[in-house]
Amino acid sequence: MALLKYLGTPFTYGALLFVLSAVSLVYSFELFKFDLVVFLEWELISFGSVSVIMTLLFDWMSMSFMGVVFLISSMVLFYCYVYMAGDKNLVRFIILVFLFVLSMMFLILSPNMISILLGWDGLGLVSYCLVIYYQNVKSANAGMLTVLSNRVGDVAILLCISWMFNFGGWNFFYLQHLFRVEELKFVLILVVLAAMTKSAQIPFSAWLPAAMAAPTPVSALVHSSTLVTAGVYLLIRFSEMIGVNLFLLYISVFTMMLSGVGANFEMDLKKIIALSTLSQLGVMIMTLSLGLVELTFFHLISHALFKSLLFLCAGAYIHSYGDIQDIRLLGGVSKIFPLTSFLFIGCSLSLCGFPFLSGFYSKDMILESYFMGSMNAFMLLIIFFSTMATITYSIRLIYYMGFKNLGVGCLITGSESVFMLMPMVGLFFSSTLTGAGFSWLFLTPVAVILPLVFKMLVLLSGCLFGVLAYFSTKEQMIFIMKLGYSKLYGFYGMMWGLPVISTFFFISPLNFGLKLVKFMDQGWMEELGGQGIYKKMALGMPSLDHWNLLGIKSYFLMFFFILLILVVLM
C-alpha cells in the first residue's frame, strides 16, 4: 500500500528519468571508449533534390549531456513531491516538466536544423507556460519578456533553415565539413544570434533574472541544464565553423562583468543565483570563443549540477520561510536548516572554484588555458575582475543567509523534509564527483606550466576579494555606498539599465495599441461604426413598426394626407 501511494506522483516519474539517466551516462562512456558516433536517419518526405530527414546523433557528448539533463530532472521531480504537494495543478506541472525535458532531448540529439527547431521552439513555449505558472502580474510580465526575447532567436533559426536550403539539406553536421566558412557565414551569424538570445548574452540578458517568477524547482531545471544552456550547446555543435571568435569573446566577457557586478548589489535570493548563472554562461561562451570546446562542455556539465543544487537549497529556504526571498530577512538559516545550509555552502564554494570541488576542475583549467595563450591586458583585467566577483557575491550570500542574525526565522519552527533532502544530497555527491570523474575519463591529461606570479595571483586575489566581500556586508559600508554612489548603485543594481531598454521597445507599441483601442475602437468607431448605427436604427424601429401595423384610423389619416397633398398640388 505504501508503494501505491506514490503512483501517479512526481516520485514515480522521477524514478523513470533516473533510470534513463543511468542508461545514458553508461552508454556515453561506451561511445567515448570505443570512439563511436551513431546516426539514425528517417526520411520523412522528399521533393526535388531535397529530402526532409529526421536524424538522431548519438555520440559521447550528446549522451552524457542528456544523462545529466535526465538526472537533474529526476531530482527536481523528487523534490516537487514535497515542494508542490499542495498545488491543485500538480498534473499540469508534471506534464509541462516532461514536455520541457522532451524538447531538450530533441535539441541535444538533433544534427538537423528542422528537428532542432522543434526542440528550440518547444523550450521557448514551455518555458513561457512555466514562468507564468503562478498567474499573477509579476509572472505575466516576466513570461512576456522571456517569450519575446526568445522569439528573436526562433526567427533566426527559421531564417537559418531557409538559407540552408541553398546547400541542399539541413544537416549542419555535414555542411560545416563540406563547405568553407565564408560560404556559411550568414548561417553562422544567425546561429550566433539565436544562441545569444537563448543564453541571455548582452543585450538579451534582462529576461534571465525576470524568469525567476517561475516555481523554484522549475528554476533549478531551466537555469541549470536546459533552457539557458541550449544556446551554448548549439554553439558547441557549430564549433568547427566558429573557431576563435573575437565577437563572442567581447560579448561573453562583458556579460560576465555585468552579471558579476550586478549580483553584488542584488537582494533577491533567486535573482542573485540567476545572475550567477548568467556569469557562468559568459564563462562558457568565452571559453568556446577561444576554441576550447571540450572545456566548454566540461564547465557546462559541472555548472549544471551544482547550480541546480543551489536553486533547490534556495527553494527549501523560501518554502519554509513563507515565500520570503529577500536575503536581508533570511538570516540564521544554518541554525534552523543545518544540513541544507551545509549543501548550500558546498555548492557556493564549488561555484567559486574551491579546490577539489567540481567547479575548481573546470574553471581552473579554463583560466590556466587562457593565461597560456596570447593575452590583451585590458581583457585580462576584465576577465580576472569578473571571475573574482563570483567570490564576492558568493561569500556575501553565505554571510547573509548563514551567519547573520536570525531574520524572520525566529518566528518559525522549520524542519528539513527527507524527500527534499534526498535529491539535494544526490545532486551534492554528483556535483562533487563530476569534476574529478569527467577530467579523468573524458579530458586529455595536460601539463600546465605558468609563472609563479600567475599562480599566486589567483590565490592572493581570491583571499583579497573574499575579505572585501565580508566588509561589504557591514551595514556601515552599505550606507556609505548608498550615500556616496546612489546613482551608481542603481545603475549596477539594474544590470546597466538592460531591463528598461528591453521593455521599452515592447511597452511603447503596446501603449499605442491601448490608445488605439480606447479612442478608436471603443470611442469614435463605437459611435460611428456598426455598433453605433445599429443602436440608432434600433431606436427608430418602433415608429416604423407602428406604420407597418395599419389600423382603420391610420388608414383614414394617411388617405386624408394624400388627398390634402393632391389638392395643394392641383
Whole-number pLDDT of residue 172: 76
Same-domain pairing of 487 and 549 = no
55-114: pLDDT as tens digits: 888 888 888 899 899 998 888 888 887 777 777 778 888 888 888 888 888 888 888 888
- Domain membership flag for residue 224: no
Q: What is the pLDDT of residues 318-331, one digit of tens each?
A: 877 777 787 877 77
- pLDDT tier at 503, thresholds 50, 70, 90: low
Same domain, 374 and 247: yes
pLDDT band (50, 70, 90) for residue 7? very low
354-381 tens-digit pLDDT:
888 888 888 888 888 888 777 788 888 8
Among 493, 511, 526, identify where a domain stops.
493
How far apart, in whole angstroms, are the C-alpha atoms of residue 45 and residue 43?
Answer: 6
Residue scoring higher pLDDT (253 or 537): 253
Alpha helices in 34-112 (DSSP H): 60-83, 90-109
Question: What's the whole-number average pLDDT of the chain?
Answer: 79
CA dihedral 347, 351, 390, 477 (to 10 degrees): 10
Is residue 487 located within the same domain as residue 568? no
441 and 558 co-located in one domain: no
Give the CA radius of gyration of the chain.
Answer: 30
Residue 535 maps to a domain: no
Do 339 and 443 lie in one domain? The reply is yes
Residue 59 domain flag: no
Domain check: are 460 and 317 in the same one? yes
> Does a structural domain hold residue 330?
yes
Question: Of the residues 470, 493, 516, which one is the last residue of a structural domain?
Answer: 493
**Residue 272: pLDDT above 80?**
yes
The band of 476, judged by pLDDT with boundaries at 50, 70 and 90, is: very low
The 10s digit of each residue's pLDDT in 10-33 is 777 888 888 888 888 888 888 888
Q: Is 56 helix (H, G, I), strand (E, B) or coil?
A: strand
Closest CA to 235 of 220, 247, 223, 224: 247
Number of separate helices (H) and strands (E) present in the chain = 27, 2
Crossing angle of helices 227-237 and 293-320, in 10° steps, is 180
Residue at a domain's end among 457, 472, 493: 493
Cβ–Cβ < 8 Å for 22, 70:
no
Is the domain of 561 the same as that of 480?
no
Please compute the mean of the pLDDT values over residues 372-396 and round it to a whole number.
82
Alpha-carbon distance 130 to 97, whole Å?
Answer: 8
- Tell me the three-class secondary structure of 386-420, residue by residue: HHHHHHHHHHHHHHHHHHCCCCHHHHCCCCCCHHH
Which DSSP symbol is given to 374?
-
Q: Are residues 473 and 570 in the same domain?
A: no
Number of domains in the chain: 2
Percentage of residues of the chain with pLDDT beyond 70: 82
Mean pLDDT, residues 473-500 taken together: 57
Helical H segments across 165-242, by residue range: 172-178, 185-198, 207-210, 216-222, 227-237, 239-242
pLDDT of 480 reads 45
With 70 as the cut, is the pLDDT of residue 549 above it?
no
In a domain, 46, yes or no: no
**Scanning the structure block, which residue is given the C-alpha cell 528519468?**
17
Both 416 and 343 in a single domain?
yes
Amino acid at 28: S
Q: Kindly state whether residue 465 falls inside one of the protein's structural domains.
A: yes
Residue by residue, DSSP assigns 262-293 as HHTT--BHHHHHHHHHHHHHHHHHHHHHTT-H
**Structural domain that includes position 269:** 243-493
Q: Per-residue pLDDT averaged across 523-545, rounded?
A: 68
What's the pLDDT at 408? 58
Per the model's pLDDT, the better-predicted residue between 212 and 495 turns out to be 212
Residues 475 and 565 in one domain: no
Residue 312 lies in a domain: yes
pTM: 0.82
Which conformational region is residue 550 in: left (phi greater than 0), alpha (psi within -120 to 50 degrees), or beta?
beta
Interval 214-228: pLDDT, tens: 888 888 888 777 788
